[in-house]
Amino acid sequence: MSNRNSPSNMDLETFLNGLIQKMFPAWYAAQAAKEAHLGNIGILNPHSYLSHRWLSLHAVASAAQQSLAGQGEEWKPLCGFLEKLITEREFNRTLSVSAIDGVENSAHDEDWPNLYSWAEHVGKDVPHDTAEDFDRLLHEAFPAADKPHRMVYREWDGRYYWINKGDSAAFAGLILYAHDKQRDANINALINVESINNKVLDRIHSEFWVLLMTRDSATAIHELLQRAELPAVIADFEWRRSDLAFLIARKNNRKLNQIFLNLLNKRSGQHVLEFGRWLGRHHFPFRNH
């Protein structure tokens, strides 16, 4: 007698898991989410002398919108919220050189962690020993004819960057002198302030789960939800981090709520982030004076 296809000849645990998943898919998904191994997200907003290597909320919102656009009418409200998430204002103010955290453009490929590291390479041959050198470098880097100089301030991470035209040896020498001699200077700047629309963020947080995790983790959980016939979608994060993705669902489904709470319960922010809450905790207001 052949029993090759009988449960007794199969891995009993696999058989039981499959049976439970078939009979109680939502309950199984909730338990599986609680026990699932989630990959490490890594550093979301790295330090660099180059602003293009920082996390961009514009890129995040755009990528998520594009992903959601073709996934049905249910996600159109979220697309509308994402479109209004970031606000911008301009102010003509003085800004200290030491406040600048990065530059927009550079011909160098090296990923230096800050402007001082960049300046050590770009400005090492520029005379920067005397007060006269400092004054000369300041006027060369930020000539009066070009003012106001274009800057961007991001309220959600407190970073300034200069919208420069290219690498400036004078600016590099200026940074070296300012660092070594503990001196600073003010420049006339037109500052574009990027802010989060808190009312929109509150709407997103109250109506949707927007969980950030590794793409592999999001795909695995999404497959569990599909088997349980629970509505959720995967959306792209920013282009720099294709290894990450959003897992998104509405908060009006009790079974889904339990599954997402199980995902978040006792999990490190290195494994899963409720993105709206994460954004809400990061706020460095622009000093408008």
Can you give the pTM of this predicted structure?
0.88
Q: How confident is the model at residue 227 (pLDDT cuts 50, 70, 90)?
A: confident
Task: Give the pLDDT confidence score for residue 2 in this predicted structure.
Answer: 45
What residue ranges do the domains of the chain occupy? 24-85+198-280, 87-196
> Which DSSP symbol is given to 107?
S
Q: Checking phi first, is residue 266 left (phi over 0); if not, alpha (psi -120 to 50) or beta? A: left
Mean pLDDT throughout 216-236? 94
- Residues 179, 182, 187, 157, CA torsion sign: positive
Average pLDDT, the chain: 91
Task: Give the pLDDT confidence score for residue 1 in this predicted structure.
Answer: 38
Cis check: omega of the bond before 148, within 30 degrees of 0: yes
Mean pLDDT throughout 94-104? 96
Using a pLDDT cut of 90, give the percent of the chain over it.
79
Q: 165: closest CA among 188, 145, 141? A: 141
Of 88-92, 209-213, 228-232, the least confident:
228-232
Q: How confident is the model at residue 25 (pLDDT cuts 50, 70, 90)?
A: low
Task: Give the pLDDT confidence score for residue 9 in this predicted structure.
Answer: 45
Over the stretch 260-269, which tens digit does the pLDDT of each residue have? Answer: 998 998 889 9
Residue 215 reports pLDDT greater than 90: yes
Over the stretch 120-157, which tens digit does the pLDDT of each residue have? Answer: 999 989 999 999 999 999 999 999 999 999 999 999 99
- Residues 128, 130, 131, 132, CA torsion sign: negative
- CA geometry: angle at 34 spanning 30 and 37, to 5°? 125
Task: Give the pLDDT confidence score for residue 156 in this predicted structure.
Answer: 95
CA neighbours closer than 13 Å in the CB half-sphere of residue 70 = 5
Number of H helices, E strands in the chain: 11, 9
